């Protein structure tokens, strides 16, 4: 059974992350299936825009520590979203952690419900938010990222909107997105594609400049003794050895 479900309504293709056993973590399988679904949407002239959403209470828990995706595959997925000639809209009604925030930031527009929460938890398992910085650094307030990258603190949807991590937040995420999707349906395919190209130019420059180095950094950190201790502690639901 695929962890990515596809539905369509009036030209909007909805891709739903549906992997409840690991809280929609970015496993090798989910990354591959999502990339395939995006490829199909890009090639289909009947698709005007893509909505990326989720089942359950978690948009994505980050990288699946039991089935880590290849860093190059994750970079490829984020770049694919940025380069897709159709807008990709994130609909978040739950929690987003670590690598899931890179996926969120890759999208062109995003909306979150007020009860959603966010956290960069990489430092707490001995790694760094390396690959996901390709989409986050060009789009999010740098002072806020410094705080939340370094501390791993949890923050709410209002803070996510203030810092530019999400476009808007509200009590009803679908009500927030209704005028957005109406506007996308009224726009021409050519107009959307060329406007998106203007908007993502800085993001794609970051990929060209930094992807290789950040991929190597991610691989090195995940193979380190501290990361092994951090991931083991996380899976065993205990504090890692460095907590004081």
In a domain, residue 136? The reply is: yes
Q: Is 122 a catalytic residue?
A: yes
Please give the pLDDT value at position 1: 78
CA 238 to chain centre: 27
10 assigned to some structural domain: yes
Look up residue 94 and give its two tokens: 């739950």
Distance, in Å, from the CA atom of 209 to the CA atom of 229, rounded to the nearest integer, reads 31
CA distance 107 to 203: 11
The pLDDT assigned to 188 comes to 97
169 near 111, Cβ under 8 Å?
A: yes
Q: For residue 204, give every residue at least 6 positions away whose Cβ sits within 8 Å of its Cβ, in sequence order, or none.
A: 79, 82, 83
User: In terms of DSSP bridges, do strands 12-17 and 49-54 run parallel, antiparallel, or are they unpaired?
Assistant: parallel
pTM: 0.96
CA distances from 175 to 67, 113, 170, 182 (A): 35, 10, 8, 11
Give Rg (Cα) of the chain: 17
Domain count along the chain: 1
Q: Is residue 209 part of a domain?
A: no
Identified catalytic residue from 13, 122, 159, 194: 122
E strands, 67-226, are 88-92, 95-97, 109-113, 117-119, 154-156, 168-170
What DSSP string describes 52-68?
EEESTTEEE-SB-TTSP
Tell me the C-alpha distance between 57 and 194, whole Å.
35
Tell me if 114 is assigned to some domain: yes
189 in a domain, yes or no? no
Domain limits for position 141: 4-172
Structure tokens at 20: 């409840």
Contacts of 57 (CB under 8 A, 6+ apart): 94, 95
In the numeric block, which tokens belong to residue 163?
């810092």
CATH number for the domain that contains residue 12: 3.90.226.10
Q: Which residues contact 186 (CB under 8 A, 6 or more apart)?
A: none
CB 157 within 8 A of CB 114: yes
**Has residue 45 been placed in a domain?**
yes
With beta carbons less than 8 A apart as the criterion, state whether 78 and 70 touch. no
pLDDT along the chain (244 residues), means of 10: 94 98 96 98 98 98 92 96 98 98 98 98 97 97 98 98 98 98 98 98 97 97 97 96 96
What's the pLDDT score for residue 114? 97
At residue 120, the pLDDT reads 98
Does any domain span residue 140?
yes
| 52 inside domain | yes
């Amino acid at each position: 059974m695929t962890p990515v479900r596809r539905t369509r309504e009036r030209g909007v293709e909805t891709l739903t992350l549906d992997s409840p056993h690991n809280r929609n973590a970015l496993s090798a399988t989910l990354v591959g299936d999502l990339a395939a679904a995006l490829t199909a949407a890009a090639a289909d002239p009947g698709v005007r825009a893509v909505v990326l959403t989720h089942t359950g209470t978690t948009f994505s828990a980050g990288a699946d520590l039991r089935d880590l995706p290849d860093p190059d595959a994750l970079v490829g997925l984020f770049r694919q979203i940025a380069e897709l000639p159709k807008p990709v809209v994130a609909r978040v009604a739950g929690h987003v952690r670590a690598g899931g925030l890179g996926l969120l930031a890759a999208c062109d527009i995003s909306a979150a419900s007020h009860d959603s929460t966010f956290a960069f938890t990489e430092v707490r398992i001995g790694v760094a938010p390396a690959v996901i910085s390709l989409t986050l650094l060009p789009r999010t307030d740098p002072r806020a990222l410094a705080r939340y990258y370094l501390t791993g603190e949890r923050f709410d949807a209002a803070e996510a909107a203030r810092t530019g991590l999400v476009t808007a937040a509200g009590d009803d995420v679908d009500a927030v997105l209704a005028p957005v999707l109406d506007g996308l349906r009224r726009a021409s395919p050519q107009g959307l594609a060329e406007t998106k190209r203007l908007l993502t130019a800085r993001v794609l420059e970051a990929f060209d400049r930094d992807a290789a180095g950040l991929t190597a950094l991610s691989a090195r950190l995940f193979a380190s003794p501290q990361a092994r201790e951090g991931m083991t502690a996380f899976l065993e639901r205990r504090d890692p050895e460095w907590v004081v």
